[in-house]
Structure 1
Amino acid sequence: MLSLLRRISALFQWNKKSEEAPEEQPQDISNLQSVHGVVTSLCANYGWINKSIFFHTDVVCDNMPVRIGVNVIALVEEDETTQVLNAIKVKIMNNPLDCKDPSKLGKRFCIKYVTHVMQDNIYVSNGVSFPIHLFSGAFRPFKGDLVLVAYSMITGTSYINIDSVRPLSFQNMQRACITRLDGRTGVVEHCMMFTLDSLHTLSGYTPALYDVVNVIAVDSIQLPYSWRVVSMIPADMLY
């Protein structure tokens, strides 16, 4: 009975969502820039980085608490109409390895998005590529995924050496509902897309509309969505 009520609720919510405008997303992801900065002001649900970059607190990765003075890396776009700089993702760098001045340790960080994946190499924004074995995620990256790149500059040159690459952040969602299915792609809870071409799931299981599932998702630019499901397990099925 509970499962039936959940599916009816999901159908109602989907019909409501379909009448609403899609979530605002960057129009040209090639213009996104990775910026180091410090949170300089903060209100209830928004703030500013370096006094000039606006952000909503809901774009902060991993639901980390934000405070003035914290060091961050932001993925930034410029509004074409107002020329205001907006952060679409903010990563708080409070790990000892992610020190206030990473260059002093010879290591720097930036946010990149995956442009395409070849058999042995991953290509990211600004024409940078790296061998797939440097990627620490337990899945194969997909076009649009956001990654945190640790790199160092090669002394005396303008070239960089990529040390490691990992997903920007993860999100776990238990007992979520598949709210849309279109061929080999679908959507979970109206906000996380998935494609069967890159989805990890149980052998023999094929996602179906209104299935209740447990999922793991990563930050990814999949217009109009900003999350991609990488792992999906049916919550009400035993294999």
Structure 2
Amino acid sequence: MSEETSQEHHIDNSKFKSIQGVVTSLCNDYGWINETIFFNTDVISDNVLLNIGTNVLALVEKKPRNHIFKAIKVKAMNNLPEGSEPSKLGRRFCIKCVTSVTEDNIYISKDMFFPLCMFSGGFRPFNGDLLLVEYSMNPGTSNMNIHSASPLNSQNMEEVCVTSIDGRNGMVESTIFFTLDSLHIPSGYIPGLYDIVDVVAVDTMQPHCSWRAVSMTPLEMVN
């Protein structure tokens, strides 16, 4: 498959911007980055406690009505993958959303993609997933060289319930999306309604939910 696979849920990365900044103020449930970017504390990845002065990466959306910049995801820079060196050879980090997936490539815009083989294990990106991308710029151009990519955040969730099934898609606990098109499951197992399962979920931008299950194991196979 040489062309991008079309998806019902279309993501336009041009509406978002990945910004590196510093937390400049904090209240109980919200804060500001660089004094100009608003965020709610429930969008912080990895459940990390931020402080004023913490360096962060933020995925920012500009609200068209009032032109306020609001972060829809915030990740502490000191919580990047172990061994990461953002300054090494001019490499930097950004947050990108998967716009489409083909048999071989992962697209983060209409023209920018990288090979699926960059990922290992049971994780297969899906349209809407948020990725932490390590990149460098070609000198004198606006072209990015992508060196690595990984889920922005992942979380283990134990003994949760499959609450709906719709064809090859479904929901866990009514808040975690999954699709059999991109789900690692034990051989011979097909998720069923009200199954009690353990899942690993990643940050995503699906309609009405911000988590996607990337692996699922029924409880009877865990014990």
Band of TM-score, shorter chain: 0.7 to 0.9
Map 1:74-89; keep pairs closer than 5 Å: 74-89=58-73
CA apart distance, 1:104? 6.6
Partner of 1:58: 42
Amino acid at match of 2:191: P
3-state DSSP class of the match of 2:127?
A: coil
Q: Are residue 198 (structure 1) and residue 182 (structure 2) matched? A: yes
Distance 1:126 1:43, change over 3 A: farther
How does the TM-score come out when normalised to structure 2?
Answer: 0.86
CA apart distance, 1:105? 4.6
Which of 228, 234, 239 is 2:212 aligned to? Answer: 228
Distance 1:154 1:237, change over 3 A: closer
Distance 1:184 1:208, change over 3 A: same
Amino acid at match of 1:92: A
Superposed CA offset, 1:194-227 (max 9, x none) = 0111111111211111111100011111111111
Partner of 1:106: 90
Structure number with larger C-alpha Rg = 1
Taking the aligned partners of 2:194 and 2:54, their CA distance within structure 1 comes to 41
Amino acid at match of 2:28: A
Distance 1:106 1:136, change over 3 A: farther
Report if the CA contact (8 A) 1:213-1:235 is conserved. Answer: yes
Taking the aligned partners of 2:222 and 2:205, their CA distance within structure 1 comes to 32
Amino acid at match of 2:126: F
Report if the CA contact (8 A) 1:136-1:164 is conserved. Answer: no
Taking the aligned partners of 1:67 and 1:234, their CA distance within structure 2 comes to 39
CA apart distance, 1:98? 5.4
How does the TM-score come out when normalised to structure 1?
Answer: 0.81
Partner of 1:23: none
Superposed CA offset, 1:23-72 (max 9, x none) = xxxx9664111111110000111100111111111111111111111111
Report if the CA contact (8 A) 2:18-2:59 is conserved. Answer: yes
Distance 1:220 1:235, change over 3 A: same
Partner of 2:132: 148
Unaligned runs of 5+ in 1: 1-26
3-state DSSP class of the match of 1:139?
A: coil
Superposed CA offset, 1:90-137 (max 9, x none) = 1111158556xx457511111111111222221113632112222356
CA apart distance, 1:236? 3.3
Partner of 1:208: 192
CA apart distance, 1:79? 2.0
3-state DSSP class of the match of 1:58?
A: helix
Report if the CA contact (8 A) 1:35-1:74 is conserved. Answer: yes
Distance 1:228 1:106, change over 3 A: same
Greater shift, 193-202 or 89-98, is seen at 89-98
Distance 1:238 1:171, change over 3 A: closer
> RMSD value over aligned CA atoms?
2.1
Which of 112, 115, 118 is 2:99 aligned to? Answer: 115
Taking the aligned partners of 2:156 and 2:63, their CA distance within structure 1 comes to 31
